Every structure is written in structure tokens, then in C-alpha cells.
Structure 1
Amino acid sequence: MEEDKKQVAEGPGPQANVPTGANSAAKPGSQGDKPDALPNREEALEIDVRKMVKENENLTKENKSLLFANDRLIAERDKLSKKVAKLETRVENQITALKGKATEIANLKKKGGAEKMTLQHHH
């Protein structure tokens, strides 16, 4: 069955110019199988159109599916972007807190060093 479709879709084979009936070879100016080839060509075109319509339907379904998947991925990306923004804020806050602690430690060291110096001078 598939072979028949393929042959029809490709048109008549090498035997296209071989006369099939008594009339086709007998009449001068006869075109042999040419008039018969027209319905075959029409049928082949109809088959091609049906195949293209089916392929178009499949591509449309696939496109819809991909659009849906794309929408899901966009939503997921947006959700992750919000998480990243929150984490960035937390990291910035921690950095600020650490800088504050570092300044506090440095000030305590200076204060401690100054106290040691004053203690040493008193002894």
C-alpha cells in the first residue's frame, strides 16, 4: 500500500511512453499515455496536499506543545530570578554586617592597644 502511494506521488515510471491501448499507438499525433497521466498527476498532487495538511497539523500540535513548555520555563525562570534577588539581598546584608563587625573589631584592637600602652607606661 505504501509502495503504491510512493509510485503515485512520484508519477508514472519509465514505462510512461509505452502505448497501452490500440488507440494510443494507432492515431497520428497521439500523445500515448499523456492524457491518462493527468488524472494520476492530479491524484499524486492530492496525496501530496493531504500529506502536507497532516504534517501541518502535526507541526501545529508540536508548536503548541513547545509554546506551553516555553511558558512553563519562563514562569520557572521568573521564580528563580526572584529567589536569586532575595539571596543577593541577604548576601549584601551579611557583607554589610561583616564590615560592621570588622570595624568594631578594629576599633576594639586600637582601644586595647592604647590601653596596653597606657598600662605599660604606668608600670
Structure 2
Amino acid sequence: MTENEISSKIIGAAIEVHKQLGPGLLESSYEKCLAFELTQQGLEIKTQVAVPVQYKGIKLEVGYRLDILVEEKVIIEVKTVSELAAIHKAQLLTYLKLTGIKLGLLVNFNSLKLIDGVKRVANNL
């Protein structure tokens, strides 16, 4: 399955979660529900994946965690903010670079229409 096919499934699952719950809950609630929806679709996921930092050849475990990794190909960062900011995109881009993954999705569940809260971020290795 390609990154684009996976991202389409992710967006569909996120829309379903948003339809069921609406905006206004904690990130952790949406993350758990989205993880459930993705596994129901048969996708392999990992949640709260540790992301070490490589610094001058040393691997440092410094507490970074990405929210959901899908099929080892797409990172999802779940947000519940009034609007996505440049720092959210920068965070996801950093995770993409640190992991070598090409595609990530920022999903802000605090949107009236979920699709307005979804941003694709590409790592142009």
C-alpha cells in the first residue's frame, strides 16, 4: 500500500472519529479512537512511538514520541488546538526527518469540519 493510499484511509478514519465525537475532547481520546478505527480497517499501527535524536553519532533518548505510526510509512500527529500553527508542522517534519519516513498528517480534531484541520507534511529526503 502506498503512502497516499494509507493517508486516504487515515483521513476517512479521522472523519469517522470526528463525526462520532465532535470537537472539544483531549488529544488522547481522539488518538485512542483513531487507533481503533485504523486497526478496524486492518492497518498495522503503533502508538506513542519513541523517537530518538541522533547527535554527533550518538543516539539520545530524550522523550520525543510520535502519536501514531501507520504501516511503518505514515506518521499521524493528533492535535486539539484552535488552529494549527507553524510549530506543529515543524514538529511533524522533525519526526519525519528523524525517522526517515516520507509522509505525515497533522490532524486537528478541534475543527468544525475535520477536513479543514488535516494537513499533509512531506519529508523531501
Report the TM-score range of the alignment, normalised by the length of the smaller protein.
Answer: under 0.3
TM-score (norm. length: structure 2)? 0.21
Q: Which has the higher strand share?
A: 2
Pair member with larger Rg:
1
Question: Relative contact order (alpha carbons < 8 A, sep ≥ 6): 1 or 2 greater?
Answer: 2
TM-score (norm. length: structure 1)? 0.21
Q: Which has the higher helix share?
A: 1
